[in-house]
Structure 1
Amino acid sequence: MRKASFNYQGMKHHSYKHNFRKSKVNYLLIHDDSVNEYYNSKVDLDKYLDKAKTLGKELTNRSMQQKAIDNFYQEAVINLLSHHTIEDVKQLFKNLQEQFNTKAFEPLQISVHKDEGVYLKFLDNNLDINHLWHDATNLKFYDTRTYEDVSDKIISYAPARDIYYDDVTKKFYEDEAFTKEFNTTDKETYINYHAHVVFSKFDPTKGKNVRLCKSDLSTIQDITANSLIMRRGQKGQNKRLNHWQLKQAIDINKQKQEDLQAKLQEETKIKNNYENSLNKVADILQYEGEDIDKLIEETKKLKQAYQSTLEQLNTIDTIIVTKAKVPKEINTLDKKIAYIVQENNWFKSKFMELVNILNIEVKSFTEIFEKVREKLSSKGKNIFSKLIEDTKELNKKILVEPRVNEKVDLDFSFKKDNVVKKEPFKRKKNKNDSL
């Protein structure tokens, strides 16, 4: 069952023509005005407003404000069910007058519309058109049995948006050029039953408008649901969208509908291909007895051959993928080798620099020892001679190139803790010493 709803705002200048179908409406689903109902009190709206200004001045001794004049007439849009009539709407407004103890809320014009709606395509067979409700505040469809949002399970076709009506042929088409007729046989018809009511909140007995607070607006929704015997919407759950929000929501919904339509077309295509395949099989299966058994055996063999071929193809795909990775791996190895060679050259150059430095240092030590030796006594000469020979031997060992693949560990660090302290050597001076 649809939810009750009573929403109103300032009356527009074109409301009468639209509500009474005096102007062309291009989004109608039912092109038969006899399904609608109309009531017009024949009150001249301009004269009634002038009379209200005068009456307000007399009763309150105050002139009506411009804002009150601009919003003097209100237009309500009220959700209805298929069986509701003009009399049901009139009774609703009488109940409002009693609730607020006022002569305001007098309906001046009533239009009950039963010609607007959409065609629906259900993607779920469990959906029922009699248990479907469309929320105009957020443009979503709900299943009234489960209160579930089923918008994604429905494709809607709205006139002047998705389908187009030709006044000549009296049919809907999928394009504005009327070349492709729209098929309605597999669609459900969803009518948006509602009423437009023009009224005023001016109370002629008090000379001013009725003031409504937030709780009063909630009370209006309660009275609407009770008067029309409809399910009331949840309090404060939804807010009616403004013009721009509504347009944006429609665009989003349209995109969703297009996506759903594309999905449906794809599923239909698959279904048709499947049916064609079944028909071909049915043509083949026109055998009896042993012929069918032979056909089954042949089918099994074909299936095995197909499986074997599929495995071979998978193997080929694996080889192709592996080959495709080899050049990348070779390129990576080339880069690593080039880097290692570069590092090796750098270490080699540094090592040769170190050798040259040591060579220079050793030669310098040798020259110093030669000079010292000349000044040594014959007794100390032998000691320094041996020291020189050891130094030369050390020099040779250092200058020898390291063998291939042999790591050379040169530790030039000086560790104080490893030094063994010895008593200094003391010898007696001789007279023959030259130093």
Structure 2
Amino acid sequence: MAALRRIVSRFGIHIVAVLGGFGIVLAFILIQDQREVLAQQAYTSARQETLDALTHARALGMTSAEVSDLVRQDETVVQAAAPQGSAPFNQERIGFFNRARDDEIGIRLILQDRETGLLGQTRTAAQEGVVRFISDLSRAEQIGVDPQPVAELRPQAASLSRVLNQAGTIGDYRDVSAQLKRPAGRLALLIADQQNANAVTAQFAQKIAAVDHGDAALARKTAMDALATVRDDLQTASVFQLDVSVIQGRVDRLETQLRGALAVAALEQIGGSLQARGQELEQTMNATVPEKALVISLKEQVLRAYLHGKPVWWTYITTGRPGLETDPGNFRVYSKQAPFTMHSPWPKGSPYWYPDTPVKTVMWFNGGAGIHDSSWRAYYGPGTEFPHYDPFGDDNGSHGCVNIPPRNMPWLWSWTPVGTPVIVY
């Protein structure tokens, strides 16, 4: 015991220093370990909040296309591997979990902003549509539209008003707009039909007569040109899913009459009727077709820009390759970014992987699918969505996006605002 006291007396300070050092190291290890636990818990909590927000967004009516890019971002965060290490050498792991938490918070904030914007857009569209429909019913009566079809549409106006008053979600408002589309189109057609009845047809016929001076061949050519124009407009109406069956039936009958008509007066009357039908259709489309729209034909590999239902610009394009086809359907440009770097959602080794690819401009319309320039591609148009020969560029279709020739993208970017409908068929 005496010997022990002598040792303690001689080396006590050193022993205390060693024990103190061990204590400090142990405390630092415990602190680092606790920091990692808290960081991991914060990330887990943030991710659960993101999942809850996605569930809430879907319950409100947001489509898969409107959240799929955020879902992929979340999956990318989840799939990332945390660095190895244990306390006290775990600072990289702590930073990893903190960054993952911040990423999840960022995803949730973007989702909330998108949800708020869509709720406002869909509410406004539904309210304006119902108000316009009710107003057009009164207008139809005032200009003398047959009472029967107007009476048939009134119960739908009352029903849509009740549904609108009870609506509260994105899905609810979209349902109102969807239910409104067909009766509103029919009513617009009835109004246009009344406005362009027999008197208008007679006016057109008189104008034709003033030009052909009794020449049957010229009168027939005028009628054939009018027929071609209205057929083109009917095709456009079908792209926009408008109910123009009434005009379609009348044009079909006029075409049959045109085949058998010989007299100049008959040809002038048919030509006047076709021009009147074309005017009706144009008025209908002006009332129901969006001011601007992008229409993408997967078969033709062509994108067309429409202004008030009339094509004003087009370009050849390249869409998704086999297995990654561009989805058909009705979408909207929900975001524009310039510039942007495309990051592959597929890992290296996947046949679909691609390196980070910068583009000058991109317009997102369907989750992670966008319309953008593609400097790596030389050829566009029919067949380029499949493997093809391209000695100067990419020889396959895209990964689901719509590739635009770089020289054409600036015009499309400037012309297209956020919210523009995109129809892919």
Q: TM-score normalised by the shorter chain: which range applies?
A: under 0.3
User: Comparing both chains, which one has the higher relative contact order based on Cα–Cα distances under 8 Å and sequence gaps of 6 or more?
Assistant: 1
Structure with the bigger percentage of strand: 1
Structure with the bigger percentage of helix: 2
**TM-score, normalised on structure 1?**
0.24
